[in-house]
Amino acid sequence: MDNQFPWSNDQTKRYVGAQYFSLISMAETLVFNSQFNVDFFKDYGMISDRDIESGRVSVIPNWYTGADEQPPEAQNGDETGFNVIYSGNMNDRIDWGLLESLTMISDDITLHLVGAARRQIPALSRLTARKNVVYWGPMQESQVLNLLRRCDLGILPHVSDEISRYMNPLKVHMYRAMGVPVISTEVLGLAADDGLSVFPDHVGFLDAVKLAWEQHHLSGKPSRIDLPKAETNPSARAYMKIIIQSFAGRKDVKKVLNIQEPKKNLPELLPPLDC
């Protein structure tokens, strides 16, 4: 489970809340992608201490393994330059000023943007006016993976705010699965390690991009990291363990699980969030 509340508007918050309540009521096992979101749902009365103590609730960080094969597509991106990519929702939490500064490092750097940005048209338009920016719009996962094969660096230009603190970005694992090193701003849920560099300010972020670009030219090839082996991924093993345990020895008997009565004292089920 992730958390859709922070970027839901006033009209959709109740609808999203009803969906979560129904799914949580029926589920035998609840897997959250961060402890922060466990605390969030507990505060709203959708899960209880009993759920946590009984082991019904688990926390497993996001993980990702790209598809082994993808359909052939036309060449995407500039094969001779240095290709940088951001893939994700651009309606919230994006540092547009940082993106613009990145494009000014060199015209040889092409910035590829993938995802929806319908609420940020003015900022997106200013950015795409530059010749070294390509906006692909929303894409299917297979298309994103093919584009990633031609990119040299993945970035997370996120602002640390009420939106980003509810996230444990899955895209970091998507980049890694395709062998693309990642440079990120400092947001909750991310820690620097092999293949991921985290910077608290613009200067460090931009210097890291510039260094990656310079190393790319010196080496004559993309600066890729080794692909992680699936069997060494602790999150993947944890997910598989839950799936195996959930079905081991079960009989095919239809029943309703974890019946719960709606709580009348829920604090407006979804109170307005400052986002």
- On the question of pLDDT at 8 being above 80, the answer is no
Better-predicted residue by pLDDT, 226 or 236: 236
Better-predicted residue by pLDDT, 184 or 36: 184
Q: Sign of the CA dihedral 106, 109, 110, 111?
A: negative
When pLDDT is averaged across residues 31-37 and rounded to a whole number, the result is 85
pLDDT (tens digit, 9 = 90+) per residue, 49-58?
Answer: 999 999 899 8
pLDDT (tens digit, 9 = 90+) per residue, 197-207?
Answer: 999 999 999 99
Q: Are 156 and 170 in contact (CB under 8 A)?
A: no
- On the question of pLDDT at 64 being above 70, the answer is no
Q: Residue 54 and residue 38: Cα distance in Å, rounded?
A: 14
Better-predicted residue by pLDDT, 240 or 94: 94
pLDDT (tens digit, 9 = 90+) per residue, 187-227?
Answer: 877 777 767 899 999 999 999 999 999 988 887 664 444 44
- On the question of pLDDT at 233 being above 70, the answer is no
pLDDT (tens digit, 9 = 90+) per residue, 106-155?
Answer: 999 999 999 998 889 899 999 999 999 999 998 888 888 888 888 999 99
When pLDDT is averaged across residues 259-263 and rounded to a whole number, the result is 47
Q: Residue 172 and residue 229: Cα distance in Å, rounded?
A: 16
Q: Are 47 and 23 in contact (CB under 8 A)?
A: no
pTM of the model: 0.61
Of the chain, the end-to-end C-alpha distance in Å amounts to: 20
* Whole-number pLDDT of residue 59: 86
pLDDT (tens digit, 9 = 90+) per residue, 80-103?
Answer: 589 999 998 888 889 999 999 999
Token pair 């009803």: residue? 18
Q: Residue 233 and residue 67: Cα distance in Å, rounded?
A: 16
